[in-house]
Each structure stands twice: as structure tokens, then as C-alpha cells.
Amino acid sequence: MGSLGVRLAKALARRSGLIGGDGVRACRVFSGDSEGVPGVFVDVYGPGAVMMVYEGRVASGFDAEGAAQVVLDVLRPVGVRGVYLKPFPKDRPKLGGALPACVTDARPAAGESVGEYVIIQEGGQEQSWNLEVRLYDGLSTGLFLDQRANRAALAWAVAKRARGGKTPAVLNTFAYTCAFSVATAMAGGSTTSVDVSARYLEWGKRNFAHNGLEASLHRFAKMDTFEFITYARRKGLGYDLIILDPPSFAAGSKKKGHRPFSSVSDYARLVRESATILNPGGAVFASTNTQELCRPVFAGQPIRLEREIAKGLGLPAGREPRWVKLPAVTADFASERERFAARMFTL
């Protein structure tokens, strides 16, 4: 464990400007695959940290609880009081929905409890927002840190359009806890957040409340994304910014008539359908953490996500949409740039 402590301390020093700097209170401080401890990742959320351990990638005999204490010792100087453990089984579907007990235990693996939830801050001096994270609410915390720079970029784009005198209409599909919606609403957008989970939409409404935003002035739709797009088209609704950040896979519902969703097979369809409700001059933000879409089909070619976007738009071979520049990958995720991808385009 001495090796972990040394490697974590070095990683922390490289990221010191992110913790508490420019309004950022949450970031990844350790990416073990590239920093000498495969399968181990550590994120800091203010007073709490989460250590993720991936079965099948971590060394045999790895002492997770002992490692949590090492992590706490290294992170105490930056204000961390408790370290929570999230073990990711190699074959999660076989769990049948069951979760390891530690991921819902209020007691951290090391240190003291930091409470039911933590409010972290994102953004910069001109615009910032608060987001609620829960460190023992399952395998996720309610926030994807790798999208931090993109949330800021979309907020900036919305604010720029809002300064032109028009309230931009923003559609956030697969909205989860509505972090993108909060960022763009704070920038002056009128947001619609779509997700099949009532629980996560309620979490999203709390995120609005944490920022003094009146949730009733925005829309929260408990619907399948494709179902909502059909509804919006029928109602003549249009959007200036559409956010596509789907999961790699989502189970369908025969009872509700929802088809299963797979990013690999359905991303082009998602782009095609979304384009039908995009206002003239509007933009689509398309993101994925599906590995097959983050790599080129053949060496030397664009990543497959770009191909799926072009396919969804019906563009002939060799043609591309008008790409909008997005920010570079942040320093805490620079070594993981092949794990996720995002593109923004206009028609």
C-alpha cells in the first residue's frame, strides 16, 4: 500500500489546481490504469472521496479497505474526511440488481461520514452552479465528473445566445440528475429535462433548488427520449440546443412499449430523430462513454461517434456536419481520453 500512497500523492500534486480552484470542488485525483495501480480510481467531492475498484483489473489480493485508509491519509490535507468504497464486479448483469452492501452504507471505508449528500460547486468566476452528490447511494454519485468542462462550455454557449435577447430552448435527453440542465438554466436557458426515472428527475429538481432556480419555470418529463421527441414533433416544439448523453445500454419496457437502447446500434437513430426538432441555427451536443464509439473503425479514421452522427444526419460519404469546438479534456481525465468522447455540431 506504500506504493499506492506515493503514486496518489504524486497524482494529487499534478491536479492541485483543480481542487478548490476556479469554483471546482470535485475532480478525479487518481486514474490507476495510467498511474501504476490498474483498476483503482479515486474521485474527490469536497469533504468526501470515492475509491472505485474494478474486479478483473485490480491486482489479485488487493486490500480495498486498507487502501481506503491510505487514500484518506493522503487526501486529508485537501479537506477529505471520509473515503467511500465502490467495488465494481466484473459481470454486473449477473448481480440481478443486487449491490455490494458497502455502496449503500453511510459509514465510509475509512474516516468519518460526510452526511447524506454533499453540495459541490462547478463553473468559474463569471458563472457557477451547485450540484448535489451522494457518496453512498449506489455505484454512482449522481454526477459524471468527466463532463465538467462540457457543462461549462454549453453554459457559455447558452449565455452568449441569451445575451442576444432570446431565451434559448434547451432539451436535455437522458438527463439523469439534470446537471447539464442546471448549467444551461443558470446561463439563461429554458430547459426541458427528459428521463425515464422519476427518482433522478426529483434529484434534478433538488439541483435546481440548490441554485435558487424555480423548477416550475422549467420542464421535467418522465418519458423515454424517443417518445418525447415524437411528442415534441407532434406539438411543434423546437430547441436551440439538444444534449445527447445516453448510457451505453438501457433496458426497455414491454409494458410501456419502450425498446431497449444500445449506443452502438441506436446512436445514429438518436441523432436523426433529434435533428427533426432542432431549431434553425441550433446545435446538438453528442456524447458517449461507449468504448466502441470512442475509437476509429479503422486506424487513421475519425472516431466511430463521428461516423454515427454523419449516418444519422444522412450525409453522404466524406461529408461532415459543421463541428463546433469543445474544450480540451480536463487534466484529471487526460489519461482517460479514449474512454469517452463528445462532439458538438450544427446543421
- Domain parsing of the chain, residue ranges: 2-120, 144-346
Digit-by-digit pLDDT tens for the chain (347 residues) are 579 999 999 999 998 888 865 556 899 999 999 999 999 999 999 999 999 999 999 999 999 999 999 999 999 999 999 999 999 988 765 555 678 899 999 999 999 999 999 999 998 777 899 999 999 999 999 999 999 999 999 999 999 999 988 999 999 999 999 999 999 999 999 999 999 999 999 999 999 999 999 999 999 999 999 999 999 999 999 999 999 999 999 887 777 667 889 999 999 999 999 999 999 999 999 999 999 999 998 888 999 999 999 999 999 888 899 999 999 999 999 999 889 999 999 99
Pairwise CA distance, residues 278 & 169, whole Å: 10
Distance from chain centroid for Cα 3: 30
Query: What 8-state DSSP symbol labels residue 337?
Result: T
Query: What 8-state DSSP symbol labels residue 334?
Result: G
Identify the H or E element spanning 263: helix 263-275
Superfamily holding 144-346: Vaccinia Virus protein VP39 (3.40.50.150)
Tell me the three cell numbers of residue 257: 412499449
Pairwise CA distance, residues 97 & 297, whole Å: 33
Span 2-120 CATH architecture: 2-Layer Sandwich (3.30)
Helix (H, G, I), strand (E, B) or coil at 156: helix
- pTM for the complete prediction? 0.95
Residue of 60, 85, 62 whose CA lies nearest to 72 = 85
Q: CA-CA distances (angstroms) from residue 323 to 240, 284, 285, 342?
A: 15, 10, 10, 11
Query: What 8-state DSSP symbol labels residue 303?
Result: B
Tell me the three cell numbers of residue 227: 417518445
Sign of CA dihedral 254, 256, 258, 260: negative
Other beta carbons within 10 Å of 341: 20
